[in-house]
Amino acid sequence: MRGTNPKLALSVTPVQNKTFYIRTYGCQMNESDSERIAGTLIDGGYSMVASADEADLVVLNTCSIREGAENKVYSDIGRLRLLQREAGATRTVAVAGCVAQQEGPALMARDRSVGLVFGSRAISRLPELIGRVEAGERVTAIDIHTRPDAPDSQVRGDPHRAWVTVMEGCDNHCAFCVVPATRGPEVSRHPDGVVAEVRELAERGYVEVTLLGQNVTSYGKNHGTDFADLLRRLHAIDGIRRIRYTTSHPKDFSDRLMDTLADCPKVARHLHLPLQSGSDRVLARMGRGYTYAAYRAKIERVRSLLPGLAITTDLIVGFPGETEADFSATLDAVREIGYFNLYGFKYSRRPGTLALTLDGHLDDDTRDQRLATLLAMQKATTLRHYQALVGSLVNVLVEGVSKRNTARLSGRLENGALAHFEGDPGWVGSFRQVRVTQASASALIGVAV
Ligand code: SF4
């Protein structure tokens, strides 16, 4: 959203003929932050290019949720260093996101080619930080205790669907999670600012917004409001036809919020509610703050209010100390709830987390086998959910031309399922009725009617 923050625009000294490239790893919060980074740089006189080797400034917007993601960042930094040496180019490498936040000065010490390390709460200060780097300083800006409340400039990657960050950080301390250390304590944006942003998006033709935060269900505490009130206000905005949100915490998923979901049909009938484990013993060791029975009671209540609601979840297998019985409890829970889909992860050792200090760390093979078992079980369930849609008419927001088959369009149903069908590329950004004709465990095929 360029030009929405005149204060920021005024503070930027334009830089002539400078180019930047951003590589984004990880979650939607990072995608959204990259849009803000791009907006801030463009306001500062930079222009965006399509590859790292054309760029004066390369920003790696990183993720540290799992070890694999973090290692990718280090190998990318190494590749950039080589590129730099071969071309003799003077390029600034900046590392943003969770690895930046987590490693900070250590990242600088580890690799001399990195000139700037900054966290999500320093995005609006980028012009000043880059100015210091250009003056020869190596700069670290990873304070997690501040955040500008107004949205910064943002270059949106899609003209119809927008991410809107409503809060950042987390006050929980799940034993496996780096977020409280990397994103800092929970801070919500003022609801008036969020409503104004979504209203402006609607005026510009956006039809779908996804509200982002580490735990949107605890939104608003610092403003004396809550997520239910925010949803009601956003629901009233003309032009916005679908509202998504992610992610939620079971302990904050309140009756009041469920009642609001039932009253607001523009809020997608899709709930992503991370369970993490079906075993109470493991949930307690994780510090999640609920039991499986309490979780299941919430699912029963929300399903009674919203029949047909698609429920998805996150699960971690192989958490330290997880026994075969604990893992079986997770499989039982998955079977009982019948998730529409799930994201399964092997427990991953993360620096600075409580889980590292727990006993009972499991070997790789056990964790791999458990993950494979879980995913195979869910694949069959997801396939059943998708097959149940064959023959029905579904409402699809057309997102673009299919990547695999350019004769087809792709879009998503309210429940998040991907659908492919033939149609006019001019339909992108509109809602179409599609008759589902085939289903696999990853997508639906249909015919637009
Ligand atoms: S609630 Fe989510 S973001 Fe917060 S500590 Fe737990 S897993 Fe991490």
Edge-first strand listing for the sheet containing 18-24 = 46-48, 18-24, 57-62, 92-96, 114-118, 139-141
Q: Tokens 């997801």 identify what position? A: 382
Task: Give 9's pLDDT tier (boundaries 50, 70, 90).
Answer: very low
Q: 184 C-alpha vs ligand 1 centroid, how far in Å?
A: 11
Cα–Cα distance between 334 and 315 in angstroms, integer?
9
**Together in a domain, 83 and 211:** no
Element (H, E) at 54: none
Task: Give 146's pLDDT tier (boundaries 50, 70, 90).
Answer: low
Looking up residue 414, the CATH number of its domain turns out to be: 2.40.50.140
Based on the number of CB atoms within 10 Å of its own CB, is 145 exposed (0-12), middle (13-18) or buried (19 or more)?
exposed
Q: 288 C-alpha vs ligand 1 centroid, how far in Å?
A: 8
Share of the chain above pLDDT 90, in %: 68
Which candidate, 93, 114, 119, places its Cα nearest to that of 182?
Answer: 119
Query: Domain for residue 334, yes or no?
Result: yes
**Together in a domain, 348 and 412:** no
Query: Domain for residue 188, yes or no?
Result: yes
Q: Which phi and psi (to 5°) does residue 240 adopt? A: -80, 120
Based on the number of CB atoms within 10 Å of its own CB, is 124 exposed (0-12), middle (13-18) or buried (19 or more)?
buried
> Of the candidates 337, 366, 387, which is a domain's last residue?
387
**Together in a domain, 246 and 276:** yes
Looking up residue 107, the CATH number of its domain turns out to be: 3.40.50.12160
Q: 173 C-alpha vs ligand 1 centroid, how far in Å?
A: 6
**Together in a domain, 292 and 191:** yes
**Together in a domain, 127 and 18:** yes
207 Cβ neighbours under 8 A, 6+ residues apart: 160, 161, 239, 240, 241, 242, 397, 429, 430, 431
Query: Domain for residue 147, yes or no?
Result: no
Query: Domain for residue 149, yes or no?
Result: no
Total domains in the chain come to 3
Query: Domain for residue 362, yes or no?
Result: yes
Most confident of 12-16, 65-69, 277-281: 277-281
Protein residue with its CA nearest to atom 6 in ligand 1? 174
31 Cβ neighbours under 8 A, 6+ residues apart: 24, 157, 163
Task: Give 423's pLDDT tier (boundaries 50, 70, 90).
Answer: very high
Is the predicted pLDDT of residue 14 greater than 80, yes or no?
no
Per-residue confidence (pLDDT) for residue 420, from 0 to 100: 97
Query: Domain for residue 148, yes or no?
Result: no
Q: Left (φ > 0), alpha (ψ -120 to 50) or beta: where does 121 sit? A: alpha
Q: 405 C-alpha vs ligand 1 centroid, how far in Å?
A: 38
Per-residue confidence (pLDDT) for residue 7, from 0 to 100: 26
- Which atom of ligand 1 lies nearest, measured to the CA of 171? 4
State if residue 174 touches ligand 1 by the CB under 6 angstroms criterion.
yes
**Together in a domain, 206 and 326:** yes
> Of the candidates 141, 169, 185, which is a domain's last residue?
141
Structure tokens at 356: 């590292």
Cα–Cα distance between 379 and 383 in angstroms, integer?
6
- Which atom of ligand 1 lies nearest, measured to the CA of 173? 5
What are 366-415's pLDDT values in tens digits? 999 999 999 999 999 999 999 999 999 999 999 999 988 889 999 999 99
> Of the candidates 87, 108, 141, which is a domain's last residue?
141
Query: Domain for residue 156, yes or no?
Result: no
Q: Is 194 helix (H, G, I), strand (E, B) or coil?
A: helix
**Together in a domain, 349 and 227:** yes
Per-residue confidence (pLDDT) for residue 107, from 0 to 100: 85
Per-residue confidence (pLDDT) for residue 441, from 0 to 100: 92
Q: Is 145 helix (H, G, I), strand (E, B) or coil?
A: coil
Least reliable range by pLDDT among 120-129, 168-177, 236-245:
120-129
Q: 360 C-alpha vs ligand 1 centroid, how far in Å?
A: 22
What are 314-341's pLDDT values in tens digits? 999 999 999 999 999 999 999 999 999 9
Per-residue confidence (pLDDT) for residue 198, from 0 to 100: 97
Is the predicted pLDDT of residue 443 greater than 80, yes or no?
yes
Task: Give 284's pLDDT tier (boundaries 50, 70, 90).
Answer: very high
- Which atom of ligand 1 lies nearest, measured to the CA of 287? 6
Per-residue confidence (pLDDT) for residue 273, from 0 to 100: 98
Cα–Cα distance between 227 and 259 in angstroms, integer?
12
Per-residue confidence (pLDDT) for residue 81, from 0 to 100: 81
**Together in a domain, 166 and 17:** no
What average pLDDT does the chain have?
A: 90
**Together in a domain, 328 and 221:** yes
Least reliable range by pLDDT among 139-143, 220-224, 413-417:
139-143
pTM confidence score: 0.88
Query: Domain for residue 53, yes or no?
Result: yes
Per-residue confidence (pLDDT) for residue 267, from 0 to 100: 98
**Together in a domain, 180 and 302:** yes
Q: Is 154 helix (H, G, I), strand (E, B) or coil?
A: coil
Structure tokens at 86: 């071969």
Protein residue with its CA nearest to atom 8 in ligand 1? 177
Which candidate, 40, 266, 276, 82, places its Cα nearest to that of 174?
Answer: 276
**Together in a domain, 314 and 170:** yes
Higher pLDDT, residue 174 or 79: 174
Q: Calculate mean pLDDT across residues 206-215.
A: 96
Based on the number of CB atoms within 10 Å of its own CB, is 113 exposed (0-12), middle (13-18) or buried (19 or more)?
middle
Task: Give 2's pLDDT tier (boundaries 50, 70, 90).
Answer: very low
Per-residue confidence (pLDDT) for residue 221, from 0 to 100: 93
Per-residue confidence (pLDDT) for residue 116, from 0 to 100: 93
Task: Give 153's pLDDT tier (boundaries 50, 70, 90).
Answer: confident
411 lies in which domain range? Answer: 393-448
Helices 364-387 & 324-337 angle (0-180, nearest 10): 10
Residue 179 to residues 97, 106, 438: CA-CA distances in angstroms? 11, 18, 39
Q: 275 C-alpha vs ligand 1 centroid, how far in Å?
A: 12
Looking up residue 312, the CATH number of its domain turns out to be: 3.80.30.20
**Together in a domain, 334 and 402:** no
Q: How many CA atoms lie within 13 A of 212 on its CB side?
A: 16
What are 24-73's pLDDT values in tens digits? 988 888 898 999 999 999 988 899 999 888 898 999 999 887 777 777 88
Whether 201 contacts 234, CB under 8 Å:
no
CA 164 from centre of chain: 11
**H-type alpha helices, 166-218:** 179-182, 191-203
Is the predicted pLDDT of residue 15 greater than 70, yes or no?
no
